[in-house]
Amino acid sequence: MLVCRNCQHLGEPYQEDLILPQPRPRAGIVRLSRIPVRRPAELPKEIQELEVAENFADIIRKRRMKLGMSQEDLANRVKTKLSIIQRIETGKIAPETRLCRELQHELKIKLLVPRKEAPAPKTAAPSEITLGDIIKIKGKPDEDSAN
């Protein structure tokens, strides 16, 4: 951004990282730095390996009621909208990790559980005889025949 000398104290001078020749700014004009672009940070491994419990809606609703808290009270405590709490308790949406942690803290419950790996499909053993069943490796006697 190009600004006059009166406004230059409002920012920092911009510096290019490129080695290309830079045109000289006109007299009395200073270039301010750009706003840094935030890249989405990678989630820590412990968060990547956790997921929301399947019955999160029931867990949250029962614990909130046991504590005698209204949905509005809970929404204020976890700093979110009432409509979000209502949707979570009906199971329409799953809370994101940050909200899960807030809910866990306020309600003293466990919502994030280790991620379950999908079991690998079992392949049935072939019912017919294969070459491996017939061939015996030379030099290795059967244990049954050795005794």
CA angle 90, 114, 84 (to 5 degrees): 25
Tell whether the model's pLDDT for residue 37 goes beyond 90: no
Tally Cβ neighbours within 10 Å of residue 65: 12
As a whole number, mean pLDDT of residues 126-140 equals 66
As a whole number, mean pLDDT of residues 124-133 equals 67
Residue that is written with structure tokens 């301010």 in the block: 32
pLDDT of res. 136: 62
pTM for this prediction? 0.49
CA-atom Rg of the chain in angstroms: 32
Residue that is written with structure tokens 């990790």 in the block: 97
Tell whether the model's pLDDT for residue 102 goes beyond 90: yes
As a whole number, mean pLDDT of residues 53-78 equals 93
As a whole number, mean pLDDT of residues 30-35 equals 56
Dihedral angle over CA of 141, 143, 146, 147, nearest 10 = -170
Residue that is written with structure tokens 């029962």 in the block: 62
Give the DSSP H/E element, type plus range, for residue 37.
Answer: none
The rounded percent of the chain whose pLDDT value lies above 70 is 59
Residue type, 35: I
Q: Which domains does the chain have, with CATH numbers?
A: 1-34 (no CATH), 45-114 (1.10.260.40)
pLDDT of res. 52: 86
Coil, helix or strand at residue 125: coil
